[in-house]
């Protein structure tokens, strides 16, 4: 994975990252635009589990000053996809088919939002998983994801 690490940390790297978090190991033009996103390994490598998070900045908020729902869905999609893909060896190539969300709370400016994933099933053609987004250990969103499993490995791996 080291080949996929950005050469330089994002210019807006928060000074107050929670312990163990570092810049997400892969990025894209879209993720660079809406991030920065961070990850922390929570077990034995990515297959053992990890969380993805970000600090809510002003550009992440909606007109009411809360984290935009689309941003939270993006965070969940990242966490769901990578956690599920890396549960296979070699990592599975997954494409998001469906995301559904239940919002039970909100994140505000300055909050750290973390996503934890529970894999329901990783089959030969489909994968199912749930992500729980938390602020201060309080669940604010539950997202269910369905992914189609392609041939081969995760791109770039």
In this predicted model, what pLDDT tens digit does every residue of 118-150 receive, in sequence order? 999 999 999 999 999 999 999 999 999 999 998
Interatomic CA distance for residues 69 and 106, integer angstroms: 9
Strand partners, 23: 38
79 within some domain = yes
Q: How many CA atoms are closer than 13 Å to the CA of 129, on its beta-carbon side? A: 30
How far is residue 20 from each of residues 52, 116, 117, measured CA to CA in Å? 11, 15, 17
State the CATH number of the domain containing residue 70: 3.10.129.10
pLDDT: is 43 or 127 the higher one? Answer: 127
Task: Give the total number of structural domains in the chain.
Answer: 1
37 within some domain = yes
The three-point CA angle 17-25-19 to 5° equals 25
What b/e string do you get for 85-122 counting C-beta neighbours within 10 Å, with b at 16 or more?
Answer: bbbbeebbbbeeeebebeeeebbeeebbbbbbbebeeb
Quote the radius of gyration of the chain (alpha carbons, Å): 15
Question: Range of 148's domain?
Answer: 19-153
The pLDDT score that the predictor gives to residue 9 is 47
Q: Which of 30-44, 74-88, 106-120 has the lowest mean pLDDT?
A: 30-44
- Average pLDDT (5-34) is 75
Tens of pLDDT, residue by residue over 44-80, are 655 557 899 999 999 999 999 999 999 999 999 999 9
1 within some domain = no
125 within some domain = yes
Whether pLDDT at 8 is above 70: no
35 within some domain = yes
34 within some domain = yes
Residue 34 has a CB neighbour count (10 Å cut-off) of: 15
Whether pLDDT at 110 is above 50: yes
């Amino acid at each position: 994975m080291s080949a996929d690490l950005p050469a330089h940390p994002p210019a807006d790297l928060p000074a107050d990252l929670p312990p163990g978090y570092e810049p997400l190991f892969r990025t894209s033009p879209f993720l660079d635009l809406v991030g920065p996103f961070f990850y922390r390994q929570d077990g034995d490598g990515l297959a053992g589990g990890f969380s993805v998070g970000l600090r809510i900045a002003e550009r992440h908020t909606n007109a009411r000053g809360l984290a935009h729902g689309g941003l939270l869905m993006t965070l969940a999609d990242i966490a769901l996809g990578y956690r599920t893909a890396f549960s296979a060896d070699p990592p599975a190539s997954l494409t998001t088919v469906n995301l559904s969300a239940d919002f039970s709370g909100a994140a505000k400016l300055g909050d750290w939002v973390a996503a934890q994933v529970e894999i329901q099933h990783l089959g030969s053609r489909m994968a199912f998983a749930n992500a729980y987004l938390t602020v201060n250990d309080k669940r604010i969103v539950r997202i269910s994801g369905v992914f189609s499993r392609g041939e081969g490995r995760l791109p770039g791996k």
